[in-house]
Structure 1
């Protein structure tokens, strides 16, 4: 029988004209379950569903101390939830104290929260891990009853989620019987997420809400077709600006920060009416992001150009349109972004897609169909990474002496580490204690010591400060702060060190939507002045470079097998038909390889549909094999879907290049001394605690950290190649930057079926790849015209004209 709402809450709902949604009632009815996962659409009241049992349990004012912990991927989301929760608490006069705790929280409040925690604490995985590292953690969390994990799908996709699950396993020790609640709108595999978030081997109950009305989503029609390659959506500026005029507030999403800066700049130049438009991304100064957020909440902005910093469940004002510029690469991400518009359960979200180039038209159409069919994509989760496990062992040591047996038993209750073996755990413990065989002679890595009773503890208690300063799995890019020159100059954000190093006084670049002039470097800060130039350089932001999901790629390959494509624009249909006439369209069960001459060079195009990282790796491996075979490759370029290689000799036999063993042998040889491995080693060694980015005296800059990590890598590669960190590095490189698993997946699905087609000229599908190569390295005002002329020439060669 459904649990009735207490009169105070029933009256509050009635006063607002609301009714409890069925999934909110189900969450109330099952509030005592050890683990619940609620999958409900954006705007469906997920947050209130997650918190309603806590508010009711706290309403009588008898609970002292911390009752509910809320964890989100974003600091801004925690602050937003605090604002939203404060409304019902204030209007019902509930005796509940709600606070957030993130990296932006003042130190004085953090210290007070540990001694006198609020009833509901809103935080992030990193702040939670830090809290568990203190000796007083058992006291702070002793009364904890529920943990709400918001946007659980986003947490599960990174090492932040692995760290969070280890922290929750530790909290179970302080608060046995802790109830866990996961919330998400975009879960492709609920059972998998349930195993991830529940205490192993406890089951999870999955509640699926009514998905609500289908989104109103389409491709934006533009007078000018997208360019053949590259892009960034600049061709669509007039059409986007018209949509901004027609709507109250529009979010304009981009996949990278640099693309957002370029688009904002062009949008602002075209904005002759002076419509209030802002920009928001993770490289901007916190003060600037907060100003934009406040203006959004107040309804003062008509459009916000943004990146993933506004992806998740924040309710930003009266947003009634979302525009996605560039192919979304991932259907779940697209659904999440669409949900920012019309953030109400009963109203369909409205969104428009803007392909950045011709191929992205196909990808956007595939994504549209996937959204309408509720076909979400996701990659299978591997076991919990061991560098995160090493960090957790050090965190546990900061909190006090521990038993290895007890810690191992505790860790294996965390979903990602349920299959952790004792030898794997012992290897991590040994590494944390001594640094490993090749490093055990150095005092700096002698961090743990075993007492006569068998318990482990910090060899030097002062090490706790350094460990706490380096908690977290988010890896900083090598960035420098950007600040206006002069006493008290306002911070603007940050740029990559490599970009800063390329600047000379007088150079201009974009940051925060404004053009600034580089004046010099002072105390690791880039000093700039405002500049009136209209043609800046562009700041190089790392951000997240998405690869298309395998599910989306498979859908595109299925589309290629249609006889016609009435859903696509005429120019794209003609392009695909011509490709089928002069060559073939790629298929999922066969690998298409084209060979053709162009501009005095021999070219090979491999349509692997394996994602950008894997296609990049494929280029490296194939050129190495082609070199061994005397084909004299000169270079390559890769996209999500293909790798184009150019050289001196034509490819006559493709099958020998794609044997798995051949590729794997080449990969091993290439990885042995490659910068990819050193970059991966640096990230894993930082997470595992071998390298410190932050110290009590000063923070290392990127060059210092790279130098020290390179020395360590070279030392271990020479003297201890089986060192734990070397094993972890190889695993991480294969899974991430190299993504060899995608190449193996490609080899499995084609099963040796390779179609090598020799053409007398570039094919229509390969022609845009030649533009990716950068054949027109001309800077200045004529660049866009020359690129357009080169595109027209290539398409004429390929047999296609606009």
Structure 2
């Protein structure tokens, strides 16, 4: 196969616009014949056009029937944006090319037509692609497929959506052996790992690195007010942020959670005396509201947008010339991606400001600035392809028609994430899909696959295909309820978590979409609200997801602590660290600092593990249980990204026995066995593997109904089939994700028993902010029983009784 030359009309089109083709775009043309190719190019470097130029050149002469190129992106909005952008060169050069997108928002009639008469270029998402491969006519739909372009591949590689995509690509490769693979990204910490996922295993995938362009202009925002000791809102910096908004055309103000974005937007709007046009954008808002904000941004009608990760990825948002990150970024790669939203042009430096939300985040922001300057991206290895996604893929394959198990196993092994899959693991998944597993094989609803006389597997009941297709996908947010205005036609505002709605009483006020609303009631699984005239909500907002500081950033902070002084830190923060070193000690790399001191009649134990919020929380849960068993009477704990503070009635003089690795593993096992974390993790895996199905032709189950069903199933399997595939998957997922026990093990391996115990007579400077943290967890046990007994004795003594 020969690489197509760029036709003269393309050169003329570039020249007419005063553009020059970039070197990496030329090289993508020259190497377009390669089976796979990963392009890493800076934001604004034209990487999407680089991915499409070979397609446009190949199709420009006409003659290709049916689908030629699939474009896959993580966002529906990105697919729609690319369609708009492609229409310009196609129409201006008069190219005979039809481009369409296909997402969850595409009408069913168009989806059916696209299968029978696909466009030359189809823009889609992993979920829609998986659905297309599940139909009987998939072989005909994809017969002419020549290229697949995966945009923002780094974002997909971090989640199960990517695993679903790699399996779909393996299927496409079998249906169309000549298909070539292209991956596009601006931020990749480990290009080799991404290339492994993109390649058709075991074929290697070459990597094309474009000129990264100038370094971004990034610094910490200077404010008159000092950051507070705790909290994550950044409200203290609003006057300084408004000054920056006035000085720039369009500013994106990123937050790490939807809750923080809502609260900040509300406070920013109250302080916006100039009436600057400011919007808010996050994933829980109604789609129409998000689209209105996006359109206003493209048209340059907004001076600022308060947002979350919903605007992280590569949509060109017009005249954005400043990015502000409120709160420590927690992850260098995420910060670089967000910085790239500003000055979205090739070889133009991005401009960004960091705003630490509290005093400790000042240190973390400086560490992140240094990492960006050194081009040192972070990332956690994902491990092998998850088996719940594989189970879903097997069921989707059966929907498309009978299959041979040996052939499917060989096909799955060509997907990079599953290249190490063993045959026994595959057979376990196949057996689960066929029967539901040992404890469930007697129930008809889980008897879904059977073999024919030729040994091929197929659906036991063809009618099951509809239900399987309706539940394809790996996105599983916490259960959400729609929020609508009670009057005025029931205008939708967005979504809130079901557990948040359950806490509301009639008359409670909360924030959504930057407005304060009053809760009126729940009607047919919809939260009904009315406008509220108050200036401050009673309940701030739904929770949202919290990020944990990456391992790399944690290590950088520990290295910073070893400096003799800190000229790069503000004076107030440097003095705080110096005081900690004088009174106690600063944590060191390769050692674990543990402080012990009394405070307000309780004994305090502070462990500076720097393992991230989830792991520190898990450490608190396990250690307090261990302390309870050892008679140390713990009363509660609180965790941050860098430390866990435990309080109780007895001083801990030697923490080493508490931190024994085998004992921690045993404590985790016993804690997980009866904990809601496992049931919640099981519920997610059960939905992905389609043991449970949320969507049905009749109606969608509520979160509460689904929870009840999954809890019963979980208890049943634990009792009668403890080695069930989904229980094994659940344990793996809980260890890796929600409880992040791997970070605890990394910490223990790092310190290798080197524990520095410091006993003091008062609170230390580094521990003090932990007392202001929210999310304190009480411990029910002997400590509280002793307090009750002591209080009872005191009261009886005062009454003259013994």
Q: How does the TM-score come out when normalised to structure 2?
A: 0.96
Whole-Å separation in 1 of the counterparts to 2:83 and 2:293: 18
SS at match of 2:530: strand
Measured against aligned partners, the alpha-carbon deviations of 1:549-600 in whole angstroms (never above 9, x if no partner) come to 1011111111111111111100000000001111111112000000111111
Whole-Å separation in 2 of the counterparts to 1:175 and 1:773: 54
Determine the structure 1 residue equivalent to 2:65: 64
Is 1:375 the counterpart of 2:413 in the alignment?
Answer: no
Measured against aligned partners, the alpha-carbon deviations of 1:143-178 in whole angstroms (never above 9, x if no partner) come to 000000111111100011001000000001110021
Where in structure 2 are the equivalents of 1:144-293 lying within 5 Å?
A: 144-293=145-294
* Closer/same/farther in 2, CA of residues 774 and 113 from structure 1, 3 Å limit: closer
Determine the structure 1 residue equivalent to 2:680: 679
Q: Do the aligned partners of 2:603 and 2:648 also contact (CA within 8 Å) in 1?
A: yes
SS at match of 1:636: strand
SS at match of 2:320: coil
Determine the structure 1 residue equivalent to 2:502: 501
Moved over 3 A (4+): 1-4, 537-544
Determine the structure 1 residue equivalent to 2:716: 715
Is 1:468 the counterpart of 2:469 in the alignment?
Answer: yes
Q: Which deviates more, 533-542 or 422-431?
A: 533-542
Measured against aligned partners, the alpha-carbon deviations of 1:346-371 in whole angstroms (never above 9, x if no partner) come to 21000000100000000001001100
SS at match of 1:122: strand
Measured against aligned partners, the alpha-carbon deviations of 1:300-356 in whole angstroms (never above 9, x if no partner) come to 110000000000001012100000000000000000000000000121000000100
Is 1:137 the counterpart of 2:130 in the alignment?
Answer: no
Determine the structure 2 residue equivalent to 1:80: 81
Determine the structure 2 residue equivalent to 1:53: 54
Whole-Å separation in 2 of the counterparts to 1:40 and 1:195: 18
SS at match of 2:71: strand
Q: Do the aligned partners of 1:510 and 1:537 also contact (CA within 8 Å) in 2?
A: no
Is 1:118 the counterpart of 2:125 in the alignment?
Answer: no
Q: Do the aligned partners of 1:473 and 1:687 also contact (CA within 8 Å) in 2?
A: yes
Determine the structure 2 residue equivalent to 1:793: none
* Closer/same/farther in 2, CA of residues 3 and 164 from structure 1, 3 Å limit: closer
Where in structure 2 are the equivalents of 1:210-609 lying within 5 Å?
A: 210-486=211-487, 488-538=489-539, 540-609=541-610
- 1:4 deviates by 4.9
Whole-Å separation in 2 of the counterparts to 1:537 and 1:116: 54
SS at match of 1:572: helix
Q: Do the aligned partners of 2:612 and 2:641 also contact (CA within 8 Å) in 1?
A: yes
Whole-Å separation in 1 of the counterparts to 2:472 and 2:6: 41
* Closer/same/farther in 2, CA of residues 543 and 69 from structure 1, 3 Å limit: farther
Whole-Å separation in 2 of the counterparts to 1:554 and 1:479: 36
Measured against aligned partners, the alpha-carbon deviations of 1:725-782 in whole angstroms (never above 9, x if no partner) come to 110000100000011111111011101100111011111000000001579x9xxxxx
Measured against aligned partners, the alpha-carbon deviations of 1:208-247 in whole angstroms (never above 9, x if no partner) come to 0111011000001111111101131111111111111100
Q: Do the aligned partners of 2:263 and 2:541 also contact (CA within 8 Å) in 1?
A: no
- 1:538 deviates by 4.2
Measured against aligned partners, the alpha-carbon deviations of 1:355-388 in whole angstroms (never above 9, x if no partner) come to 0000000000100110011000011120000000
Whole-Å separation in 2 of the counterparts to 1:84 and 1:318: 16
Is 1:32 the counterpart of 2:33 in the alignment?
Answer: yes
Where in structure 2 are the equivalents of 1:655-674 lying within 5 Å?
A: 655-674=656-675
Q: Do the aligned partners of 2:150 and 2:183 also contact (CA within 8 Å) in 1?
A: yes
What is the alpha-carbon root mean square deviation over aligned residues? 1.4
* Closer/same/farther in 2, CA of residues 137 and 589 from structure 1, 3 Å limit: same
SS at match of 1:139: helix
Q: Do the aligned partners of 2:512 and 2:541 also contact (CA within 8 Å) in 1?
A: no
SS at match of 2:62: coil
Which stretches in structure 2 are left out of the alignment for 5+ residues?
Answer: 779-802
Is 1:103 the counterpart of 2:109 in the alignment?
Answer: no
Q: Do the aligned partners of 2:68 and 2:120 also contact (CA within 8 Å) in 1?
A: yes
Determine the structure 1 residue equivalent to 2:641: 640
Whole-Å separation in 2 of the counterparts to 1:296 and 1:225: 32
Q: Do the aligned partners of 1:258 and 1:538 also contact (CA within 8 Å) in 2?
A: no
Q: Do the aligned partners of 2:508 and 2:539 also contact (CA within 8 Å) in 1?
A: no
Whole-Å separation in 1 of the counterparts to 2:389 and 2:753: 38
* Closer/same/farther in 2, CA of residues 262 and 487 from structure 1, 3 Å limit: closer
SS at match of 2:477: coil
SS at match of 1:316: coil
Determine the structure 1 residue equivalent to 2:694: 693
Whole-Å separation in 1 of the counterparts to 2:513 and 2:109: 31
Q: Do the aligned partners of 2:4 and 2:58 also contact (CA within 8 Å) in 1?
A: no
- 1:2 deviates by 9.9
Which stretches in structure 1 are left out of the alignment for 5+ residues?
Answer: 778-802
Give the total of aligned pairs. Answer: 777
- 1:487 deviates by 5.9
Q: Do the aligned partners of 1:496 and 1:540 also contact (CA within 8 Å) in 2?
A: no
